[in-house]
Structure 1
Amino acid sequence: MNLECIGYEKRKGVGIITLNRPQVLNAMNRRLWLDFQTVLAEAGADPDIRAVVITGEGRAFSSGADLKDSRNRSQTDYRAYLEELQQASRRLIRFDKPVIAAINGYAIGSGFELALACDIRIAAENARIGLPEAKVASSVTGGALRLLQDLVGPGKARELLFTGDFIEGSEAARIGLVNLAVPLEQLMGTALSMAEKIAQNAPLSIKMIKKGLHMAQGETSMEALMDFEIEACLACVSAEERRVSLDTFETRKK
C-alpha cells in the first residue's frame, strides 16, 4: 500500500491504524481520508485481523479538518469532500470487526467524529475532546448528531454541540463519552490489551453481535431484531469455530 498520511501494522490479530500527519496535529485532508479507507478495507479483508485500534501519531488523535484546505474550496469541491468524508464514516460504522479508538491527545471536530464512529473509545486522561464546529461557523458530520446523543443523551449532546466546549478525557469517561480514561503512558497498552482479548473470541459471533447492535440502535422493530437474533445464533452455533470455541472455553474454566 502506498500510504502518505496513515501508518498501519499488525500485532497478535489486531490491526493498528495510526493517523500520521503529526506536524499539523493529524489534521484531516482528502489524502488522509483516502488512505484511511484503503487501510480499513485491507484490515476488513484480512482474516487474521480480528479487531482494529485507531490512534494518532504525536500529540493528537486528530485536530479535525485541515482548515487550510477548506478556505478556498468552491461549494462543489466542498460537497465532494464532505461526501467522501461521510463515505469513510459509513464504512467505519458498518465495519464488521470491532474498532477501538485510542485517543492520545486532541480529538477535535471531525477527529472526534472519527472516534465516535468506533465501537469503543479509550482516552488519555488529559486528552482534549470537543466538537467546536459552531465556533467556526460549520456543522458536524460523520453521523455525530446521532452517535453523540446515543452516548451521552440529548441534553448533554446539545450542551457540547451548542457551546463547542472541550472536555478532558477523564470528564469524557465520567459522562460516558468514552469507555475509559487512563494515563497517557498506559493508553496503547490498555487499548491493545482490550483488542487482543476481543481478537481471541469467535469472529462470526462478534460480527453477528455487532450487526445486531446496529439494528437495535436503528429503526428496526423489536420483533425484527429478535427474529434476527435467532438467525444469528443459529449461524454461529452451526459453524466449525463453535466446537473449537466450546472446547477452549471449557479448558479455561478448569
Structure 2
Amino acid sequence: MTWRARLLALDGLTPQLGDADRLVWTTLADAPDGAELVFLGLDDGRPCFAAIPAAGDAAPRLANPQLWGLMARLPAADLALYGGARSLIDWHARHRFCAQCGGDTRLAKGGWQRDCGACGAQHFPRTDPVTIMLVEYRGRLLLGRGLGWGEGRYSALAGFVEPGESLEEAVAREVLEETGVTVPSATVRYIASQPWPFPSQLMIGCHVRASNDAITLDTTELADARWFSREDVATALAGKGPFTAPPQQAIAHHLLHWWLNQPATA
C-alpha cells in the first residue's frame, strides 16, 4: 500500500538508522500517545510526518558525540531530510507557549505554524542567519578553536548576524570582536550556504581578506585562533594534522576545500 503515511523514527531528536545507514520510517501507529505530528512533505505520494518530542535540545551542539557519529553515516539526502525535521520539531518543542501573552499554543498548518489559543498570535519556525568566514591574509587562513572544543580542533570563524546589519558588516564585526583582526567589509565574498539544525541556523559561508594579522583574542568567545598555511589546511583535511579539520557534514569543511582550489595569492 504505497499511499500509507510514514513516521520518521526518532529517539527524541536523535535519528534511528537502518539498512545502508538510511533513516528508518514506521507508521503513524507508532507515534507516542498524545504527540503532535508535523507534516514533512510527500515522498512518492506518501505523506511523511515526525513527532514533536516532549522537550527540545538545550545542550551545546558538540555535547552529543553519538548524534555526530550518526549524522556522519547518513547519506546526503537523508541528512538533509533529518536536518529539516530536527529543526522543525525542536522549534515546536521549545515554543509551546505564546511569546506575546504566555498562553498555550497549538500546532497549525501541518506543523509550519503555532497559534495561541488565548490572544490569537501566530508564531512561525525561525531561521537565524550566521556568517561563517574564511579570513585570508597573504596566503594564510585565520581559524579558531571554540570554547569547549577538543584540543587541536579548528574551524572557520562564525557569528550571528545582528539586527540592522548587512552580511558584510556582520563578517567584519565578528572577526574584529573575536580576534582583533581588521577586515574591510568591501572584500567580503559570498561562497555558499548551509542550513544547520542546532537549532535552526542558516550558515552563510564567506571569504574575506584581512588588513593585518595581529591577533588579540577574545577569550570569552574563542579558546584560540591561529594562522594556517595552505599546506597546513591541505594536510589537516587529509587527516594528518597539524589541526583537526571540521567534520565533512559542516560547511566549514567544504569552505576549506573551496579555498584550496582557488589560485594561491601572495
- TM-score (structure 1 length as normaliser): 0.29
Structure with higher helix content: 1
Which structure's CA Rg is the greater one?
A: 2
